[in-house]
Amino acid sequence: MHGQPQQQVNCPRPRPLALMMETAFKHRGFVTTAQASKLGVDPKELQRLVARGLLRRESRGLYRVTGCEVGFLDQVMAVTIRMKGVVSHQSAARIWGHCGPGFVEDVVHLTVSHGSHPEKSAGLVIHATRLNLRNFATMRSGVPVTVPLQTVLDLSGQDIADCDLGAFLAHCVSSRLVTVRSLERYLSSQGRGVRGIVRLRRLLDDLCALDSLVEAELLGILAAAGIERPVTQFVIRDSGRFLGRVDLAWPLRRVALELDGFRFHSDPRSFVSDRERGNRIVAAGWALLRTTPASVRESPHLVIADVRMALARSRAA
């Protein structure tokens, strides 16, 4: 007995307009005439959609779906879709997570290859370079952007305040986007001729000097809170075996406090070494606390509370 022949179900192909809208939403609401043409939507159809209010013409060859909210990333996406370039300078700093004073502005900074002639438009600042864009760019949030090290170098030559550049530098180091050692290596080997390099060296030195300044501030904060003075740079041993050196310690309480500063705690190798050392110290029966320069300066009451709790637990034990 032969079975019934199976009927083939022909699924309708998506209409070109639906495909175009799907493409647009994948690009934060933007679509180019070239993308639309590949999907079967000709320029006349685009004009009809504009007339009906479904699309808005942003610039030559670029359209946006009406109703899509336009934020900073949307502006950046629109620029990179219609131009061959890399988001850079203040705009790159924002993409890398820094929105401090001096970086929140309505313009988009774009670096292009020297000799290209990008379309000029309001709200766009063009920078030209003779370097190969591929060598210092990566993808972030869906757009091509200068890598953090290049962003720092670009901004060092801009007319922005030292405090603003220093804040971005601290953000990059504390977020592990760059390391102090990588910056120092670059400045010593390739920094000659880079605009603003002297200022960058000075700000980097200031950043590293901050570690010792913050440690002094931390000692003062603990003293003002009535906490017994800790031993600085204390070497912890277990049955004579060296476990590690900690920034602050209360040996009789077996409590230690580490200040994760910029120079010695920012690169991946130091990060791994710190964690391994910390594990050995904790396994030996110590309570190991960690804090940062930002925490000491912005929320010292939390640091004090953590230390008090650790000392109280050690007394109870």
What domain count does the chain have?
A: 3
Phi, psi (rounded to 5 degrees) for 196: 80, 10
Please check whether residue 108 is in contact with residue 125, taking contact to mean a CB–CB distance below 8 angstroms: yes
User: Which is nearest to 131 in space by CA: 190, 203, 200?
Assistant: 190
Beta-bridge mates of residue 129: 113
Asked if the structure places residue 8 within a domain, the reply is: no
| Domain housing 246 | 213-316
Residues 116 and 131 in one domain: yes
Please check whether residue 238 is in contact with residue 284, taking contact to mean a CB–CB distance below 8 angstroms: yes
User: Which is nearest to 103 in space by CA: 88, 93, 116, 113?
Assistant: 93
pLDDT in tens, the chain (317 residues): 455 555 544 444 457 767 777 777 666 677 778 888 888 888 888 888 888 888 878 777 777 777 665 677 767 777 777 778 899 999 999 999 887 777 766 788 999 988 777 777 767 888 988 888 888 899 987 889 999 999 999 999 888 888 888 888 878 877 778 877 788 888 877 766 678 888 888 888 777 666 666 787 888 899 889 999 999 889 999 888 889 888 899 999 999 999 886 555 445 556 667 778 888 999 999 999 998 887 888 899 999 999 999 999 987 65
Which CATH number goes with the domain that contains 299? 3.40.960.10
Rama region for 9: left / alpha / beta (φ>0; ψ in -120 to 50; rest):
beta
Determine the 3-state secondary structure of 4 from DSSP.
Answer: coil
Residue 316's pLDDT is 65
pTM comes to: 0.57
- What sections of 157-263 are H helices per DSSP? 162-174, 180-189, 197-224
Residues 84 and 158 in one domain: yes
Residues 94 and 144 in one domain: yes
pLDDT tens track for 63-99: 777 766 567 776 777 777 777 889 999 999 999 988 7
> Identity (one letter) of the amino acid at 36?
A
Beta-carbon-side half-sphere exposure of residue 76 (alpha carbons within 13 Å): 24
